[in-house]
């Protein structure tokens, strides 16, 4: 008698777990893609773990704390690895509504993924969309900080150059008014090199003879 | 009391300034495209021929004119003939247009540079949509790099008519770009001379680093093989030759007046012939070098996309037929497809429409040029490299150096005639003139930061400089050879540098180069006339791709205005000078 019971029980359970059932979900695992050489084989023990994780997730839902591993049915396991599962309620003899199962799985997705060393892409629950991680938004965008730094440096450099230019011009207008004439190219390249047409101290007397210009006068310290 | 003309501290600064000006973004993003379109390795043949026949002679001519006349473009051409001051003015107008729109590229480079300091790079992931169940729709349809360029950077509007408002982020970057340019030109040749050491040399450092990285990337050899296999039949295509000539012409930056300005700060005894040859050779070899780098990156990107495509097909088949994970690989894909088609014909025909035909060739054949290459294609390749932040920072830093180097030349072309003019330089110091020019350009440049700004940028890029420059350079050659007199110019050069002019230059200046330019000019005109209405590429956010649209009437009017405002300077100034002279002759009675 008992054997008959268990066989009929098995029958009813199998018929409930038929694929494409309203409350059934298809699961797809890509173990080799995720783990490469460290991939484990999918066997009945892994199935047991899966059922345990689903039961665990259902237990977290209020009113469903009594869900047992045996209430979770798995069928149609393929080589892929993919299979269908459904959660039953033996007391009322029906399958739990999809919405409840979906909410339970979504809330514990990370734990389920972790148990199998997989992630949302390699352990897929078709029909259950995964919640995407929110983007990290710093309070001040990073680019503005870098922009601000470079902007300040450039402004300071511009100010420095303008101020030094004004100072040079004031020094020039206060000093001797004679400026070297352009015919003396050699002197031009030296004196203009610093951006300032420097007036050597002895222009007041008259024309300078290059040959007698000593080294340190040529290189005016400025 | 005549103020001495500022000079370059040494000839090396002059060479670096010319290199920094000539080696610009066009070498990086236009030449690889042309190479790919017109026959790969065989494109080098028309390119080198045009370099020798057109590039070197024209470059030498401009440098010689600048060095001989020792004035900016307006003064130099007025000295050659009073009626030709318009040529210089046209150069200044074209340079003004160029500097207005060119600096927005530097602004974009700054924007990407600042965003490169994040992990992950902002253009590598799509942002989430409002209810966090998936990615943003526009980003899904296009790619994340396209989305970042068109939506986050440009915030582009669907057509040129919808101007939208000024994007403050782009406006800030543009302001920064102009401040940096101002910092470099503030003190004239004194500051420019020091900056060009960096802007000329740093891009090469980055290119070398990228070359080493690029060649070691997976799939780089695919790109290089694709590029360098010569397709000799393209040599018979006249477009290949025309594009080689145009590329040499625009790449050297002839006709803007920048080269004349730079050369005017030279010692008169400088050997500009040697410099012309050096600069043009370096410019062309940089183009070729940059395209080697670009094609290894292309190869990497194409291989990556091809492999992703294959992986998607494999995943699709594995899921549809519940095959064992890892069973399908790239090598047995075709076999298994055949087997599945015969074993499960019904299911296979269901899945068939979703299976994309992955082809490495078609990935490599996507030829892109311009901003699309730098900001979409390169960023896509960079995001897949290890340590992508580093490569991104290096790349955009290089773009900045190239762009600022070219800007220095552009602004020199505008500032030199202004500072040469006694009227202006007596009232305002050099710093104030530079500041005013930068400010005016910055304010006008804000147009390009609007939502439709990229469309206006394309208008300026395609039409502001192309036709007018050809005309300007043509008038330049004719002026030097026939108005000033080739013999007189030759003797002037000999007196200045002490070297006789080689017969080759004389032959090129007097005969070959003008003919080449006339044929280019005719080709461009006929191309515009034959295409009828001008069209542009607009970004359609709903489809996530570019669509072709016609320009509205006022945009066509502005294009016409752009071209006319520079070309009309030449005849108008000539006419004006003629009238003034007639009036003067009429006023003063003839002296006995």
pLDDT digits (tens, 9 = 90+) for B422-437: 888 888 888 889 999 9
Average confidence (pLDDT) over B351-368: 81
Comparing CB atoms, the residue among B115, B133, B322 nearest residue A129 is B133
The segment with the largest mean pLDDT, out of A121-125, A186-190, B249-253, B358-362, is B249-253
Q: Are strands B535-540 and A123-125 parallel, antiparallel or unpaired?
A: unpaired
Q: b or e along B209-232 (b: 16 or more beta carbons within 10 Å of the residue's beta carbon)?
A: bbeebbeebebbebbbebbeeeee
Report ipTM (2 d.p.).
Answer: 0.83
Any residues with CB less than 8 A from the CB of B112 and at least 6 apart, and which? B153, B375, B379, B392, B396
Residue B147: what are its φ and ψ, rounded to 5°?
Answer: -60, -45
> From the CA atom positions of chain A, what is the Rg in Å?
42
Sign of CA dihedral A184, A185, A189, A194: positive
- Name B549's bridge partners: B536
Cβ contacts of A181 on chain B, cutoff 8 Å: 1-2, 4
Q: How far is B267 from chain A (nearest CA, A)?
A: 9
pLDDT band at residue A187 under the 50/70/90 scheme? very low
Residue with tokens 């050699």: A186
Residue B542: what are its φ and ψ, rounded to 5°?
Answer: -70, -30
pLDDT band at residue A18 under the 50/70/90 scheme? low
- Asked whether the beta carbons of residue A161 and residue B117 sit closer than 8 angstroms, the reply is no
Interface check B119 vs A, CB under 8 A? no
Q: A-side interface with B, Cβ within 8 Å?
A: 28-33, 39, 78-82, 129, 131-132, 134-135, 142-144, 146-147, 150-151, 154-155, 157-158, 161-162, 165, 169, 178-182, 185, 188-189, 192-195, 197
Comparing CB atoms, the residue among A82, A132, A188 nearest residue B132 is A132
- Per-residue pLDDT of B166-177, as tens digits, reads 999 999 999 999
In percent, the amount of chain A with pLDDT more than 90 equals 9
Which DSSP symbol is given to B505?
A: H
Any residues with CB less than 8 A from the CB of B321 and at least 6 apart, and which? B340, B344, B347
Any residues with CB less than 8 A from the CB of B319 and at least 6 apart, and which? A28, A80, A82
Any residues with CB less than 8 A from the CB of A74 and at least 6 apart, and which? A17, A47, A50, A51, A83, A84, A85
Q: What is the pLDDT of residue B51?
A: 94
- In this model, does residue A192 exceed pLDDT 70? no
The residue of chain A with its CA nearest to that of B8 is A193
Q: For the CA atoms of B100, B101, B106, B109, what is the dihedral angle to 10 degrees?
A: 160
Q: How far is A92 from chain B (nearest CA, A)?
A: 34
Helix (H) and strand (E) counts in chain B: 30, 2
**Which of the residues A36, A188, A192 would you substitute to probe the B interface, choosing the one with the greatest number of B C-beta atoms within 10 Å?**
A192
Q: How far is A85 from chain B (nearest CA, A)?
A: 16
- Per-residue pLDDT of B448-479, as tens digits, reads 999 999 999 999 988 888 889 999 999 999 99
Q: Are strands B545-550 and B535-540 parallel, antiparallel or unpaired?
A: antiparallel
- Asked whether the beta carbons of residue A169 and residue B429 sit closer than 8 angstroms, the reply is yes
pLDDT band at residue A214 under the 50/70/90 scheme? low
Any residues with CB less than 8 A from the CB of B264 and at least 6 apart, and which? B5, B66, B67, B69, B70, B71, B72, B76, B416
Q: What is the pLDDT of residue B279?
A: 95
Comparing CB atoms, the residue among B4, B114, B180 nearest residue A154 is B180
Beta strand ranges found along B519-585 (DSSP E): 535-540, 545-550
pLDDT band at residue A100 under the 50/70/90 scheme? confident
Residue A88: what are its φ and ψ, rounded to 5°?
Answer: -105, 160
> From the CA atom positions of chain B, what is the Rg in Å?
27
Sign of CA dihedral B197, B202, B204, B205: positive
Cβ contacts of B125 on chain A, cutoff 8 Å: 135
Cβ contacts of A146 on chain B, cutoff 8 Å: 114, 117
Q: How far is CA B25 from the centre of its chain?
A: 4
Comparing CB atoms, the residue among A30, A154, A169 nearest residue B325 is A30
∠ CA A140-A144-A149, nearest 5°, is: 120
Cβ contacts of B179 on chain A, cutoff 8 Å: 151, 154-155, 158
Comparing CB atoms, the residue among B117, B179, B322 nearest residue A158 is B179
Q: How far is CA B570 from the centre of its chain?
A: 26
Residue B544: what are its φ and ψ, rounded to 5°?
Answer: 75, 35
- The stretches of A17-81 forming alpha helices (DSSP H) are 31-35, 44-59
- Asked whether the beta carbons of residue A132 and residue B133 sit closer than 8 angstroms, the reply is yes
pLDDT band at residue A70 under the 50/70/90 scheme? confident
Average confidence (pLDDT) over B32-36: 87
* Pick from A128-142, B232-246, B273-287: least confident: A128-142
Q: State the DSSP H helix or E strand holding residue A160, giving kind and residue range, or none if neither.
A: helix A142-174
* Pick from B46-50, B76-80, B325-329, B486-490: least confident: B325-329
Interface check B131 vs A, CB under 8 A? no
Q: What is the pLDDT of residue A19?
A: 53
Q: What is the pLDDT of residue B64?
A: 93
**Which of the residues B308, B322, B400, B428 would you substitute to probe the A interface, choosing the one with the greatest number of A C-beta atoms within 10 Å?**
B322
Q: What is the pLDDT of residue B463?
A: 87
User: What is the SS3 assignment for B143?
Assistant: coil
Comparing CB atoms, the residue among B132, B179, B318 nearest residue A155 is B179
The residue of chain B with its CA nearest to that of A126 is B319
The residue of chain A with its CA nearest to that of B110 is A147
- In this model, does residue B57 exceed pLDDT 90? yes
For residues B280 and B63, is the Cβ–Cβ distance under 8 A? no
For residues B157 and B452, is the Cβ–Cβ distance under 8 A? yes
The residue of chain A with its CA nearest to that of B326 is A32
- In this model, does residue A93 exceed pLDDT 90? no
In percent, the amount of chain A with pLDDT more than 70 equals 66
Interface check B179 vs A, CB under 8 A? yes
Comparing CB atoms, the residue among A80, A131, A195 nearest residue B325 is A80
**Which of the residues B2, B12, B114, B324 would you substitute to probe the A interface, choosing the one with the greatest number of A C-beta atoms within 10 Å?**
B114
Q: What is the pLDDT of residue A183?
A: 43
Phi-psi region of B498 (alpha: psi -120 to 50; beta: other; left: phi over 0): left
Averaged confidence pLDDT in chain B: 89
For residues B449 and B104, is the Cβ–Cβ distance under 8 A? yes
* Pick from A196-210, B327-341, B543-557: least confident: A196-210
Nearest to residue B122, comparing CAs of B99, B162, B152, B97?
B152
pLDDT band at residue B1 under the 50/70/90 scheme? very low
Q: What is the pLDDT of residue A189?
A: 47
- In this model, does residue B541 exceed pLDDT 70? yes
Q: What is the pLDDT of residue A28?
A: 87
Interface check B316 vs A, CB under 8 A? no
The residue of chain A with its CA nearest to that of B176 is A151
Q: How far is CA A163 from the centre of its chain?
A: 45
- In this model, does residue B108 exceed pLDDT 60? yes
Query: Angle of helix B388-420 relative to helix B168-185, nearest 10 degrees?
Result: 60
Any residues with CB less than 8 A from the CB of B225 and at least 6 apart, and which? B299
C-alpha pair distances (Å), B172 with each of A151, B106, B107, B111, B394:
9, 12, 8, 9, 22
Cβ contacts of A134 on chain B, cutoff 8 Å: 128, 132
∠ CA B56-B61-B43, nearest 5°, is: 20
Average confidence (pLDDT) over A6-15: 54
C-alpha pair distances (Å), A174 with each of A168, A199, B44, B256, B569:
10, 12, 60, 39, 43
Average confidence (pLDDT) over B34-59: 90
Nearest to residue B87, comparing CAs of B260, B247, B262?
B260
Average confidence (pLDDT) over A66-95: 83
For residues B41 and B227, is the Cβ–Cβ distance under 8 A? yes
For residues A37 and A138, is the Cβ–Cβ distance under 8 A? no
- Per-residue pLDDT of B399-420, as tens digits, reads 999 999 999 999 999 999 998 8
Average confidence (pLDDT) over A33-44: 84
- Asked whether the beta carbons of residue B325 and residue A29 sit closer than 8 angstroms, the reply is yes
Structure tokens, B508: 């090129």
Q: What is the pLDDT of residue B331?
A: 84
Average confidence (pLDDT) over B229-248: 88
Nearest to residue B296, comparing CAs of B232, B394, B385?
B385
Averaged confidence pLDDT in chain A: 75
- In this model, does residue A45 exceed pLDDT 70? yes
Average confidence (pLDDT) over B359-366: 83
Number of C-beta neighbours around residue A185 at 10 A: 13
Average confidence (pLDDT) over B563-588: 88
């Amino acid at each position: 008698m008992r054997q008959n019971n268990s066989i009929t029980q098995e029958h009813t359970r199998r018929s409930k777990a038929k694929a494409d059932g309203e409350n059934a979900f298809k699961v797809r695992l890509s173990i080799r893609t995720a783990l490469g050489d460290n991939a484990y084989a999918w066997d009945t023990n892994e199935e047991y773990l899966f059922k345990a994780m689903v039961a665990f997730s259902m237990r977290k839902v209020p009113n469903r704390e009594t869900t047992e591993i045996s209430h979770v049915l798995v069928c149609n396991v393929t080589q892929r690895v993919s299979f269908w599962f459904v959660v039953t309620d033996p007391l009322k003899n029906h399958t739990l509504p999809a919405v409840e199962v979906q909410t339970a799985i979504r809330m514990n997705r990370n734990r389920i993924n972790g148990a199998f060393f997989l992630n949302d892409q390699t352990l897929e629950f078709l029909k259950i969309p995964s919640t995407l991680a929110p983007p990290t938004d710093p309070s001040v965008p990073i680019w503005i900080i870098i922009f601000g730094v470079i902007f300040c440096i450039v402004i300071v450099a511009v100010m420095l150059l303008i101020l030094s230019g004004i100072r040079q011009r004031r020094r020039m207008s206060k000093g001797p008014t004679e400026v070297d004439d352009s015919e003396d190219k050699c002197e031009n390249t030296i004196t203009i090199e610093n951006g300032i047409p420097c007036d050597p101290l002895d222009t007041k007397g008259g024309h300078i003879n290059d040959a007698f210009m000593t080294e340190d006068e040529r290189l005016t310290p400025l | 009391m005549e103020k001495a003309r500022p000079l370059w501290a040494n000839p090396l600064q002059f060479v670096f300034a010319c290199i920094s000006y000539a080696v610009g973004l066009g070498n990086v993003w236009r030449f690889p495209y042309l190479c790919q379109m017109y026959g790969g390795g065989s494109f080098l043949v028309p390119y080198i021929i045009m370099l020798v026949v057109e590039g070197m002679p024209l470059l030498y001519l401009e440098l010689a004119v600048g060095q001989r006349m020792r004035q900016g473009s307006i003064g130099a051409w007025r000295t050659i003939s009073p009626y030709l001051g318009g040529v210089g003015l046209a150069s200044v107008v074209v340079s003004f247009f160029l500097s207005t729109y060119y600096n927005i590229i530097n602004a974009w480079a700054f924007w990407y540079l600042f965003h490169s300091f994040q992990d992950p790079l902002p253009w590598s992931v799509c942002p989430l949509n409002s209810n966090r169940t998936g990615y943003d729709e526009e980003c899904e349809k296009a790619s994340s790099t396209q989305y970042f360029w068109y939506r986050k950077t440009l915030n582009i509007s669907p057509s040129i008519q919808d101007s939208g408002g000024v994007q403050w982020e782009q406006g800030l970057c543009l302001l920064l770009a102009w401040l940096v340019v101002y910092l470099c030109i503030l003190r004239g040749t004194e500051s420019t001379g020091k900056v060009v050491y960096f802007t000329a040399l740093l891009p090469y450092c980055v290119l070398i680093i990228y070359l080493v990285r690029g060649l070691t990337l997976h799939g780089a050899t695919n790109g290089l093989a694709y590029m360098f296999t010569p397709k000799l039949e393209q040599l018979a295509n006249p477009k290949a030759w025309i594009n080689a000539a145009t590329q040499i012409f625009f790449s050297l930056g002839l006709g803007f007046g920048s080269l004349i300005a730079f050369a005017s700060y030279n010692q008169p005894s400088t050997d500009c012939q040697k410099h012309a040859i050096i600069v043009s050779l370096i410019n062309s070899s940089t183009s070729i070098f940059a395209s080697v780098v670009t094609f290894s990156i292309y190869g990497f990107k194409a291989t990556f996309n091809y492999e992703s495509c294959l992986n998607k097909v494999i995943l699709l088949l594995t899921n549809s037929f519940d095959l064992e994970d890892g069973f399908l690989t790239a090598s047995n894909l075709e076999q298994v497809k055949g087997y599945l088609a015969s074993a499960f014909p019904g299911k296979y025909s269901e899945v068939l429409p979703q299976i994309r035909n992955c082809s490495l060739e078609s990935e490599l054949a996507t030829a892109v040029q311009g901003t699309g290459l730098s900001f979409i294609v390169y960023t896509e390749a960079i995001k897949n490299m290890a340590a992508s932040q580093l490569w991104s920072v290096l790349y955009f830093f290089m773009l900045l150096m190239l762009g600022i180097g070219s800007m220095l030349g552009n602004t020199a072309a505008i500032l030199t005639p202004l500072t040469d003019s006694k009227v202006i330089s007596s009232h305002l110091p050099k710093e104030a003139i530079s500041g005013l020019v930068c400010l005016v350009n910055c304010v006008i440049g804000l147009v390009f930061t609007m939502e439709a700004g990229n469309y206006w940028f394309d208008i300026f890029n395609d039409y502001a400089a192309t036709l007018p420059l050809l005309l300007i350079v043509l008038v330049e050659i004719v002026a030097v050879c026939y108005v000033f007199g080739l013999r007189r110019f030759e003797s002037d050069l000999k007196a200045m540098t002490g070297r006789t002019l080689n017969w080759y230059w004389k032959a090129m200046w007097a005969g070959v180069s003008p003919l080449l330019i006339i044929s280019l000019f005719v080709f461009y005109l006929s191309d515009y006339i034959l295409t009828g209405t001008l069209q542009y590429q607009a970004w359609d956010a709903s489809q996530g791709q570019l669509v072709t649209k016609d320009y509205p009437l006022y945009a066509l009017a502005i294009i016409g205005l752009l071209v006319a405002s520079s070309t009309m300077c030449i005849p108008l100034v000539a006419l004006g000078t003629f009238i003034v002279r007639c009036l003067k002759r009429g006023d003063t009675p003839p002296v006995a």
